[in-house]
Chains A and B, each alone.
Chain A
Amino acid sequence: MYYQLINFGNEEFHAYPDKSLYWKRLNTLIVSDLHIGKSISYAKNKQFLPPYDTKEILSKIFVSLDKIKPSNLIIVGDLLHDVFSTLSLKDQDHKNLSQYMKNTDFIWIKGNHDKNIQIEGFKNFTNYKIDKLLFTHIPIETSLFQICGHYHPKVKISHRGKTIFKTCFIHNEKIFILPSFGILTGGLDIHNKQISDVLGKNNLSIYPVGQDKVYKL
């Protein structure tokens, strides 16, 4: 799989088109905003999305784990969509997860969607520090470099009379935001106030995710 090299916080990362980020030096895979079980929690409000999102997200993550065999998997928040989401995790899913946990350390950072939910066998944290990097769902006041999720960034690209929206990895000097790894998750324009309040408007590095490749703008 092709990856895009990204330098952030004096470290090298590989951004993959499946929306995961790999930190080679520490053999650590990072994903964010999986929103497992989003379909089932929508069904509660009688919005019947196809109930296949959980299955697809898990198989996507398993493919990535099989390929990279990381020592650590950091989930930067919103692993689950809400309390109902656990309903969509079947016995087999739990079995598969614990199988993978034998070789990979799962580090689940709580997000705003899943802060009050527990899954058996999952360690969870509000944030997690490695060297000068802080992994947290929403950025906090700190002098550390931060890797976060939460915003599902998308970038609007207008070029030669055409406009497209693409999910992207994005960072400034201090803060890195991952795209959502989920299936039925939408996105937010990086020029939206919510994101620009965090990243500012200048000196942004933006990496749109294409079909088989992560690009650099």
Chain B
Amino acid sequence: MNINKSNPLLLHPLNKWMKKKKWFWFPHQIETFQHVRSGSDVVVFAPTGAGKTLTGFINPIDDLIKLKKFKGLHTLYISPLKSLANDIMRNLEKPIKELDLNISFQVRTGDTTPYKKQKQKQKPPNILITTPESLALLNSYENAKEFFYNLKYIIIDEIHTFLDNKRADLLSLNIERLQTFSPNLQRIGLSATLKNKQDAKKWLCRKKPKIVSYENSVLPKIKILESKERIPWSGHMATYSINEIYKEIMQSKLTIIFVNTRAQAEYMFKNLWLINKKKLKIAVHHGSLETNLRLKVENNLSKGLVDCVVATSSLELGLDYGDVEKIIQVGAPKGINRLLQRVGRSNHNLNTPSKAILVPTNRFEFIEAKAAIEEIKKNNLDKIDLKEGSFDVVAQHIFATACAGQFEINDLYKEIIKAYPYKKLKLNDFKQLINLIQDGGYVLKNYDQFKRIFQLRENKNIYKLVNRRETRKYRMNVGTIIENPMLKIKLGTKTLGNIEEVFIQNLSQGDSFIFAGQILEFQSMKNNLVQVKRSKSLISKIPSYSGGRMPLSTNLANSVRALLAKSNMWDLYPEQITEWLKRQKNISKIPKKDEYLVEQFPRKKNFYTVIYTFAGWHANQTLGFLLLRGFKEFNYKPLGFVANDYAIVLWSLKEVKQIKTILNLGLLDKHLDNYLEETSIVKRLFRDNAIISCLIERRLPGMEKTGKQVLFSSDLIYTVLKKNEPDHILLKSSYEDAKKNMIDYDRLREILKKIDKKIILKKLTSISPLAVPIILEINRENLSKKEIDEYILEDLENEILKEANVLSIN
């Protein structure tokens, strides 16, 4: 790296330490230092290994040394993960200890003991490393203003993970609060490389906004696993290539295998274990494992004590595992940014390329993997779409504000709309959210005598908490991450981790399942603990975890389309893929980059319509439901549909003759409301909204409420509210959330806007090669929850009647 003669960092207190380590300052560190010193808010974009963490601390440390014995909190460091916070702490400790600098620094997360938290409040360190949730809590204390009034810097680490979700909303509101407490506060964001850097800047920066960017010139080496086996038509488990994956692990020192779901992680781990003749040390790591087990794996990984770890996104962020030589991505990459983040886990060193192998689990994924590699060569990253902030988070913030002391609503409103996600928050919606916190915000004013916050008689614009007891309820509900109802798994007295309650409900005593890489037998469930013992059973279930299914990014989807259409490339693919595409071309058609292929053919008495949208799973799922309604309207007697990232297939009793008339923007406008009402999407989001907005409690003080109970009562509330007060702010909020997240509304709209002119309709006599993968996926039920309930009851009753030889009882 070049050393700048006029480098101002040569005078920095850390320079001595850098010299001792034989490290040099990066240009982006110098640039950041200068911008921040001249009063700018800055977002720094740099790849891992480019000293990002240090970059954030350069100005604070310089400042603290100059100020000499600064009393109180000077710098706040926000990390997206608790584990990362501890890691940062250790990294910061090294130079400060070795140089014997007079700077105090501590971590504060959900894991910090109450005693230590109390101490921190009385005597804050100069630098506090924390999470968005802990920051929100700090801001809800009565002395928050005194605690933060002298704050000089806030550093947001991995800011790219905070741009498009409710956690981002919560963080943005709390940053604005800090700015109110300490108007001179400067903001520093640290981010992985992004396509839309300007958006990150808009989100964070207020004062003389600046972007500092450092691009890595060494491209990662990524290839697709060359398999002698046939890549299957469909499926997600990569069983076909397990021996070849094993060979790859043997050939490198340390490998991380990334998969897309927890179920895949358990499955891959089990399959590797079955063929582990060389007794390699293989571990599994995912978000449901008990913290201690997870930490143990992480520890072994950083010390190089394992040969391979099978992991989900749980190992994607931050932490530096120097010796990882190779990354294997099993399954579709889904997005460029995500793949890069994962690939970047190997060779945490800027000058040597990261090495990665992609293992497609089916044929479409092969094309997707190929496309991803092309895009990475072109450095064409995915865009992160900033979203408008959610209402429920504002409600929680209002409650937090009331906990900290009385507040004036106009002041609060003005502060909130400074936060980027809430720029467009309407005063009227804000007032409804105030009412929501006050007494539920119902039109029927029944709860006058039971308010949570009330208006002062002398000034109606000032609200105050009714009594201090309520602060405890806020603290129980803080945060925006709502897990599905989970139960703890106990092997003897040892906790293995958490498992979804729904999965356990489907087990009977004696059933075995795989968790934490072990085959376990379900014994009993008591007091929300699932007791298990080790099992030698060969047949075992794998718990599935709902949510977390990432749709194919628009960017990568476009690239997949472009690649498919490039027939001159096909000969470079494995023979079976080439064959597959050629046959498709002969029998039907390969759509061009901007075309939408629709195939129709009869099969087993039904009529099939396949639409290749490449719109990602969420949007395709929505489109499937809408088309189902459209087909009904035209009396084609549709029976069902299945969607994946690439396509949708619908089957009906009658031939669908007017697909072009149905498939357009009108479909969305006409049926979306019905769709949202019929499926449980909004209902499920309502539960999150009710908890985040503190309408219902996550846990009641003194008694652990199980997830089941929360789910149950929020469903009842939803039904009653929907019937009696359809305009209630929380219903509006849930509906907006659905549009933003679950149904990919904007993406679908974009496609439908232009689709009618670009449909290529192919009437076939039988199934096409391209349609085979999705047709094979037809086995899931596509009925609404209500229908499923009735179906199960009906079916069970009939079976019992048959058994009893009774035809009918009514």
Contacts and interface: CB of A to CB of B under 8 A. Distances in A.
A140 interface: no
Interface in A71-125: 88
Contact of A2 (B452, B505, B506, B810): B810
A52 B724 contact: yes
A162 B576 CA distance: 38
A167 B446 CA distance: 29
A159 B442 contact: no
Interface size class of A (residues with CB under 8 A): 35 or more
A67 interface: no
A88 B446 contact: yes
Interface size class of B (residues with CB under 8 A): 35 or more
Interface string B468-503: 001001000000000000000000000000000010
A125 B447 CA distance: 31
B446 A184 contact: no
B796 A48 contact: no
B720 A48 contact: no
16 contacts: A39-B446, A40-B447, A46-B466, A47-B695, A47-B697, A48-B442, A48-B452, A50-B720, A52-B720, A53-B720, A157-B793, A163-B506, A164-B793, A183-B716, A184-B720, A217-B797
Contacts of B696: 47
B447 A48 contact: yes
Given A5-B809, A43-B447, A211 B792 contact: no
B725 interface: yes
A37 to B, nearest CB: 10
Interface string A1-36: 010110000000000000000000000000000000
A157 B697 CA distance: 28
Nearest to A161: B506
B712 interface: yes
Contacts of B466: 46
Contact of A48 (B439, B709, B793, B797): B439
Contacts of A184: 713, 716-717, 720
B378 interface: no
A215 interface: yes
Interface string B674-717: 00000000000000000000011100000000000100110011
A18 to B, nearest CB: 15
A208 B720 contact: no
A69 interface: no
A183 B719 CA distance: 9
Contacts, number: 112
Interface in B753-810: 786, 788-790, 792-797, 800, 809-810
B45 to A, nearest CB: 44
A158 B507 CA distance: 9
B444 interface: yes
Contact of B793 (A44, A50, A53, A210): A210
Given A210-B793, A216-B797, A52 B444 contact: yes
Most chain B beta carbons < 10 A, residue from A88, A166, A210: A210
Contacts of A39: 446
The 8 closest A-B pairs by CB, nearest first: A48-B440, A51-B446, A52-B724, A43-B450, A43-B447, A163-B505, A50-B721, A50-B720
A56 interface: yes
A186 B470 CA distance: 25
B167 to A, nearest CB: 25
Nearest to A208: B793
A159 B795 contact: yes
Nearest to B718: A50
Contact of A157 (B452, B470, B792): B792
Contact of B709 (A4, A186, A208): A186
Contacts of B809: 5, 216
Contacts of B793: 157, 164, 166, 208, 210, 215
Given A43-B440, A51-B442, A217 B800 contact: yes
A56 B789 CA distance: 24
A157 B508 CA distance: 12
A48 B695 contact: yes
